[in-house]
Amino acid sequence: MSVTRVTIKDVARSAGVSIATVSNVLNGTGRVSADTVRTVRRAIQELKYSPSQAARNLKDKKSRLIAVIVPLLHKGFLHDNPFYWQLVGGIEEGARAHRLHIMLVGADSEESYSFVKERHLDGLIVIGAFEGSEALERIVQWGVPSVFVDSYLADPNVYQILSDDEKGGYLGTKHLIDLGHRNIALLTGEIEPNGVHEARFLGYRRALKEAGIGYRPAWAVEEPPTMEGGARSVPRILALQGVSAVFATSDVAAMGLLSGLSERGLSVPRDLSVAGFDDLPYSRFATPPLTTVAQDIGLKGREAVRLLQAHMDNKEPPYRRKLIPVELKARQSTRFLEEGEGEPVDANEIRKGGDG
Amino acid sequence: MSVTRVTIKDVARSAGVSIATVSNVLNGTGRVSADTVRTVRRAIQELKYSPSQAARNLKDKKSRLIAVIVPLLHKGFLHDNPFYWQLVGGIEEGARAHRLHIMLVGADSEESYSFVKERHLDGLIVIGAFEGSEALERIVQWGVPSVFVDSYLADPNVYQILSDDEKGGYLGTKHLIDLGHRNIALLTGEIEPNGVHEARFLGYRRALKEAGIGYRPAWAVEEPPTMEGGARSVPRILALQGVSAVFATSDVAAMGLLSGLSERGLSVPRDLSVAGFDDLPYSRFATPPLTTVAQDIGLKGREAVRLLQAHMDNKEPPYRRKLIPVELKARQSTRFLEEGEGEPVDANEIRKGGDG
DNA sequence: CTGAAAGCGCTTACAG
DNA sequence: CTGAAAGCGCTTACAG
């Protein structure tokens, strides 16, 4: 039970050298004769010694530990969007490659972040922070190396990894327009200034404008980017006269929508075309397989670590803000709108339909 | 950039006391006059001091850091089952309640776990370990407080959190039997001795036996518990003469199956009843909403932390092995089999069917 | 090439 | 009630 730790002293004694020498062979520092190196190495092997990070931290003020800050949806609960798991998976992978460990912390707006100093964390990856939040201020002010993912911060000095959200919004909408749709609803998370959803919303508007389609505010339906939110949006969407397609700014919302529509006996894409955003592993297994704007979430995580590492090394990286490319994946949840199918869905008519 | 750290010395100087006194008020140890406490507290506030965990670790050999070990599916990639995100979410929540931080590490069979000693980790939560694995031996041997989740280890001294998998297997199968099905396939992950899937498999067999239905080995279809695995199982399932229902030992496999069936123009539950296991947040939004054996995954995570904390405190907890209850959630992916519907699915007939 | 010593920031007996 | 000192396990100048 009580782990009698093997320390550098034990190794020194066993090898018949000083602890400074052991430290030197451990770190490849100083000048040490090949013979001594060998002896020390052997002692290390025999004693199964591995140096205490805790002691090193104290000396170096380096922990080789970074924190990954994930937003808490409601108090005490990690956001249940599998997107985060994908992203954290990518970060974990990147961290492993850089010989870093990650501390996962779910944080709400009241988080003090005192652990950053207390644990001598080398860096931070913050997911979905918002401009002007107190926490953010604090972090930037401390000067702890940080990378913000999906955060849209105006400060040009801040390191950021984002998806090309505006383009994604454009591509998704354009795809529907190309299929002949003109009455396209947007199902989006709250459009906060400088947020991910705003960027996607802007892409939606650009595609609309380019096609000469007027933008109607009521057609941007805001619901939480969750399956519940998507399911709940159904009545609001069906209330839109003539709607033939919906572009959702997240796959989870799109899937909730799929579910809500199916519950009402509506068929996708027959009655309504639906496109999403993210390309979660799920999405191609949805019924029907979901057309979506794909981003490489794992890559996003790995890039975040890469950027952070450069920052921690004080190497000026080639960029401060990196955009992860997006691409449209057309699957079976969207369809070509035939001539004269202007208003395929009539909410009243639907209510008479089957109940699944 | 260079963070000049505020140390206990600064506080001591500012408060006009010794560092020992500061330490005592910090930890509520020793005897300190109310006056002194006040002075010191004020100095702490003013200087925004927070003690260095790194230094504490070195003294105490306590880090208030636990590792969560998640299996790597293929080299370098965290298992993409959202189940893990749910579980880790529960663990994070529990850890926060116990003022612990969690280090997330994806580990394959070659992991040395040297970080456990190096970082003075207080404890480990290991997900999905297998009996006899080297890593496991090492961990148990070191005596680092550990809790194993979903691992089925024979050693009665090991702390474990499991779902009541055998019962879940029984309940899922029984549900199908109660609906009139007799030709029930099992879609399962590899049945390894003492594994989660084996327990569910055993429950399946118990229900069969109880109903006087013979067990046919070919009807236990093994595929990886992933959406891909579920989708891929379709031909094997359809080859089973007279199959009218499938019980999948994971929701992800069930959803892959749903997808694969839909692709072939088969309808669930009309052509085939499908039940899953886990009750992922997604499952009730599947098309059709998935009947499944529910377990409270978040609770599982929180319980793991609770057990670990008891273990770390050397308090003998009320149990070493805790079973999380399971319960059947009947939704729309399973249906009552009418009289004379003995063999509703004929593989050959299906192939002629619509293609969606 | 090698070692003695200081110091990282704490906590913990031990005196007083 | 309070403080001086040792020590946790390392690394890093600095001598030699």
Domains in chain A (CATH in brackets) are: 8-51 (1.10.260.40), 65-163+299-324 (3.40.50.2300), 165-295+328-352 (3.40.50.2300)
Task: Specify the pLDDT at position B64.
Answer: 92
Nucleotide nearest A36, CA–C1', reads C1
Q: Is the CB of A109 under 7 A from strand D?
A: no
Is residue B276 within 8 A of residue B246, CB to CB? The reply is: no
For A199-228, b where at least 16 C-beta lie within 10 A, e where not — what string?
Answer: bbbebbbbbbeeeebeeeeebbbbbbbbbb
Is pLDDT of B184 > 70?
yes
- Using a 7 Å cut-off to protein CB atoms, list the covered nucleotides of chain C: 1-5, 7-14
| C1’ D10 / CA A155, Å | 39
Tell me which of A342-346, B78-82, B176-180 is least confident: A342-346
Under-70 pLDDT residues of chain A: 1-4, 73-78, 340, 342-356
For chain B, the farthest-separated pair of C-alpha atoms sits apart, in whole angstroms, at: 91
Three state DSSP letters for B275-327:
EEEECCCCHHHCCCCCEEEEECHHHHHHHHHHHHHHHHCCCCCCCCEEEECEE
Nucleotide nearest B19, CA–C1', reads D3
DSSP conformational letter for B265: T
Place of tokens 């052509």: B271
Q: Is the CB of B347 under 7 A from strand D?
A: no
Task: Specify the pLDDT at position B239.
Answer: 97
Task: Specify the pLDDT at position A73.
Answer: 64
Tell if the CB–CB gap between A78 and B92 is shorter than 8 Å.
Answer: yes
Place of tokens 């505010």: A217
- Among A118, A227, A266, A302, most B C-beta atoms within 10 A, so best to mutate, is A118
The token duo for A8 is 């550098």
Residues of A (60-79) placing their beta carbon closer than 7 angstroms to any atom of strand D are 60
A301 CA to chain B: closest CA distance, Å?
Answer: 12
- What's the N-to-C CA distance of chain B in angstroms? 60
- Using a 7 Å cut-off to protein CB atoms, list the covered nucleotides of chain D: 1-5, 7-14
pLDDT top residue among A345 and B14: B14
Question: At B348, is the pLDDT very low, low, confident or very high (cuts 50, 70, 90)?
Answer: very low
Chain mean position to CA A149 = 6
Task: Specify the pLDDT at position B32.
Answer: 82
Task: Specify the pLDDT at position B78.
Answer: 61
- Among A83, A120, A287, A296, most B C-beta atoms within 10 A, so best to mutate, is A287
Residues above pLDDT 90, as percent of chain B: 60
Q: Which residues contact A65 (CB under 8 A, 6 or more apart)?
A: A100, A101, A102, A103, A119, A120, A121, A122, B103, B119
Q: Does residue B288 have a cis peptide bond before it, meaning omega lies within 30 degrees of 0? A: yes
Is residue B295 within 8 A of residue B329, CB to CB? The reply is: no
B272 CA to chain A: closest CA distance, Å?
Answer: 16
Residues B113-151: tens digit of each pLDDT: 889 988 999 999 999 877 777 777 777 777 889 999 998
Question: Among B63, B65, B118, whose Cβ lies nearest the Cβ of A51?
Answer: B118
The token duo for B55 is 């230094």
Question: Which residues in A lie closer than 8 A to residue B5 (C-beta atoms)?
Answer: 61, 117
Q: Is the CB of A97 under 7 A from strand D?
A: no
Return d(Cα B333, Cα B181) in angstroms, integer.
14
Question: Among A3, A103, A289, whose Cβ lies nearest the Cβ of B101?
Answer: A103
Amino acid at A343: E
Tell if the CB–CB gap between B101 and A120 is shorter than 8 Å.
Answer: no
Task: Specify the pLDDT at position B350.
Answer: 41
Return d(Cα A292, Cα A331) in angstroms, integer.
8
Task: Specify the pLDDT at position B353.
Answer: 39
Task: Specify the pLDDT at position B247.
Answer: 98
